[in-house]
Structure 1
Amino acid sequence: MNKTSIFSRFGKTEASIAWLFMTPGLILLVLFVFWPIIYSLPLALTNYSIIGETEFVGFDNFKTAFQDKSFITSLINSLLYVIVVPFIQIFSILMAILVNSNVKGIKFFRTAYYIPVVTSMVAVALIWGWLLSQNGVVNYILSSVGLMEERITWLSNKNTALWTLMFITMWKGLGYYMMIYLAGLQSIPKDLVEAAMIDGANRWQSIRKVTIPLLKPYVFFCSLISLMAAIRVFDEVFILTQGGPGITTLTSSLYIYQQGFQKFNFGYSSALGLIVSVLIAALSIIIFRFNQKGGVNPY
């Protein structure tokens, strides 16, 4: 038997084993991701009823959506959440650069920065709800240093509630993106940075001219998933404000949940979900278009 046939048979065996290991995950994806997406397409064209008859209404759900002031407000709030994305990326890169060293005790800081990511959103909500209450620590500190005359409830004030939620979202996500950027930094050959330093570049210039361009694939990936997460934000809004006060912090995901699982308007909620999906796809395409080649190996 020649070597070519041996290698081809080994390749087929390896591929079969890979597919075997992926099969359970693929089955779960088909059942709980792809099938609901496919099923939601015809569902969005109906007035679905669990008890009575399901009626075909065509594009009436979509027409209603664009006349629904609450849905328009939720879309605007979700788009405002996108403001968080660049700040998350900038601070995450800076944090990754700070912890990308062999200083004694640096592992402690890496762990500390990552703790909010693995902390339950319920626990986070309880902590921040206490910190931001009218008699909480934040108001006490701000009033003590003279930055605030009258204490406010940050999550109950219509002028501050949404921005406060955005801050909490940013705080919780920083550690996740920091770890991705840290992996990217550690994949950059040190020779390139050292060569820039030898050529006369200072620390900031080497970061701007060498490190950041080589991190572009990671910036692209993190920006994309951060954008999707910002528009689909749900947990912190649901736990901390329920969309209030009024509909000031109502986001698209929360409104879709309310229509589907509280009012049982499954057809309408499916139509809303498709509209949000198209919006996310459009913004993702924009990120793809503006993406430039970079990284250690162009991709």
Structure 2
Amino acid sequence: MRQSSSRVLQTLTPYLFLLPAGLVLLVTVFFPTAQAFLLSFTRYEYDLTQAPQWIGWANFQRLWGDPIFWQTLRQTLLYLVGVVPVLVTVPLGLAILVNRPLKGISWFRAFYYTPVILSMVVAGLAWKYLYAENGLFNQILQQLGVENGLPWLTSPKFALFSVMAVTVWKGLGYYMVVYLAGLQSIPEELYEAASLDGSDGWRKHWDITVPLMRPYLLLVGTISALSATKVFEEVYVMTQGGPRNSSKTVVYYLYEQAFDRLEISYACTIGLVLFLLILGLSFANLKLTQR
């Protein structure tokens, strides 16, 4: 009897330790998620003192016919395609460069990592001033002969790409550190053997580094893809979705519907579609990882 009680206590002990964290997740994550799912099938807007009214699939029908939503979805996917390849490849090259036993290399690592520790609000405001009509970038372009510079944040052709550049700039150092951890786990003997076989310079990295870094490449690809899908702060600080909705993403559109227009139920519908999109990306990454 005593042994049976001891076994039960031993089995329950890990769950008791997990219980506080589980309660926090239940209150802050699972319950709001379930509530948002239910609200997407209701009308809950403007006067928030009134109870939600069940309307079924009406919000999804509205979403299907909403041209602004489809525009923001296309721009979010463009953001994904434009940012992720750069954040997967360029930080790997930076990590290879700083993974050398050179004097003062730690200062170079700190230099590349500095943007990561900056708040996105601070970074966005700084870049907004650089992009300004009389900002540093246009002053340089004017010196090079480009009259009046470029409308970085005021033209629909440039606004989204200008915001994407900030995301890339801020993420380079973070993903470089991830790759650096992987590079330092590769035995140096492999590179020495490759040199004896005639594989030297960048060729040895193609033959050895890239295959052995495949798990890190998948990790960076997944994290950067999810981050690009949920981008918000850069858009909010720099363009507020303009001009003419050209830099508006799905998350910013969700925020606009929920907090500017108080259309809570419609915002929940947008959030549910975004959740399904992110879930699809996660499953795709799972398949790639299994292969």
Equivalent position of 1:35 in the other structure: 31
Report the alpha carbon displacement of residue 205 of structure 1 after superposing the two structures with TM: 1.7
Q: Following superposition of structure 1 onto structure 2, how do residues 276-291 of structure 1 map, counting pairs within 5 Å?
A: 276-291=274-289
Equivalent position of 2:111 in the other structure: 112
Alpha-carbon distance between aligned partners in 2 of 1:27 and 1:190, rounded to the nearest angstrom: 47
Equivalent position of 2:191 in the other structure: 193
Contact in 2 for aligned 1:78/1:252 (Cα 8 Å)? yes
AA in 2 matched with 1:70: I
Equivalent position of 2:255 in the other structure: 257
Report the alpha carbon displacement of residue 27 of structure 1 after superposing the two structures with TM: 3.5
* Residues 1:100 and 2:96 aligned together: no
AA in 2 matched with 1:184: G
Q: Deviations over 1:123-182 (max 9, x none)?
A: 112211111111111111122123x23323311111100000011111011111111011
Contact in 2 for aligned 1:131/1:138 (Cα 8 Å)? yes
Alpha-carbon distance between aligned partners in 2 of 1:24 and 1:144, rounded to the nearest angstrom: 61
AA in 1 matched with 2:98: V
Contact in 2 for aligned 1:125/1:239 (Cα 8 Å)? yes
Alpha-carbon distance between aligned partners in 1 of 2:176 and 2:25, rounded to the nearest angstrom: 28
SS of the counterpart of 1:40? helix
Alpha-carbon distance between aligned partners in 1 of 2:196 and 2:152, rounded to the nearest angstrom: 50
Contact in 2 for aligned 1:243/1:250 (Cα 8 Å)? yes
Alpha-carbon distance between aligned partners in 1 of 2:150 and 2:103, rounded to the nearest angstrom: 42
Equivalent position of 2:213 in the other structure: 215
Identity of aligned residues (%): 39
Report the alpha carbon displacement of residue 31 of structure 1 after superposing the two structures with TM: 2.1
Q: Following superposition of structure 1 onto structure 2, how do residues 57-136 of structure 1 map, counting pairs within 5 Å?
A: 57-83=55-81, 84-136=83-135
AA in 1 matched with 2:67: K
Alpha-carbon distance between aligned partners in 2 of 1:179 and 1:97, rounded to the nearest angstrom: 11
Contact in 2 for aligned 1:132/1:154 (Cα 8 Å)? yes
Contact in 2 for aligned 1:44/1:267 (Cα 8 Å)? yes
SS of the counterpart of 2:184? helix
Q: 1:98 to 1:19 in 2, by over 3 A?
A: farther
Contact in 1 for aligned 2:125/2:237 (Cα 8 Å)? no
Contact in 2 for aligned 1:44/1:270 (Cα 8 Å)? yes
Q: Which runs of 5+ in 2 are unaligned?
A: none
For residue 226 of structure 1, the aligned residue among 224, 227, 246 is 224
Alpha-carbon distance between aligned partners in 2 of 1:86 and 1:183, rounded to the nearest angstrom: 20
Q: 1:16 to 1:192 in 2, by over 3 A?
A: farther
Contact in 1 for aligned 2:39/2:52 (Cα 8 Å)? no
Equivalent position of 1:149 in the other structure: 147
Equivalent position of 1:163 in the other structure: 161
Contact in 2 for aligned 1:99/1:110 (Cα 8 Å)? yes
Report the alpha carbon displacement of residue 233 of structure 1 after superposing the two structures with TM: 0.2
Alpha-carbon distance between aligned partners in 1 of 2:97 and 2:187, rounded to the nearest angstrom: 17
Per mean C-alpha deviation after superposition, the further-off stretch among 281-290 and 164-173 is 281-290
Alpha-carbon distance between aligned partners in 1 of 2:209 and 2:15, rounded to the nearest angstrom: 35
Equivalent position of 2:43 in the other structure: 47
Q: Deviations over 1:209-267 (max 9, x none)?
A: 11111111111111011111101100000111100012111100011011112212111
Report the alpha carbon displacement of residue 16 of structure 1 after superposing the two structures with TM: 4.4
Alpha-carbon distance between aligned partners in 1 of 2:103 and 2:23, rounded to the nearest angstrom: 45
AA in 1 matched with 2:208: V
Alpha-carbon distance between aligned partners in 2 of 1:202 and 1:85, rounded to the nearest angstrom: 29
Report the alpha carbon displacement of residue 275 of structure 1 after superposing the two structures with TM: 0.6
Task: Compute the TM-score of the two structures, normalised by the length of structure 1.
Answer: 0.88
Contact in 2 for aligned 1:45/1:61 (Cα 8 Å)? yes
Equivalent position of 1:138 in the other structure: 137
AA in 1 matched with 2:222: L
Q: Deviations over 1:39-73 (max 9, x none)?
A: 22211111125222311011111111111111111
Alpha-carbon distance between aligned partners in 1 of 2:193 and 2:78, rounded to the nearest angstrom: 42
Q: 1:203 to 1:24 in 2, by over 3 A?
A: farther
Alpha-carbon distance between aligned partners in 2 of 1:139 and 1:81, rounded to the nearest angstrom: 24
Contact in 2 for aligned 1:216/1:292 (Cα 8 Å)? no
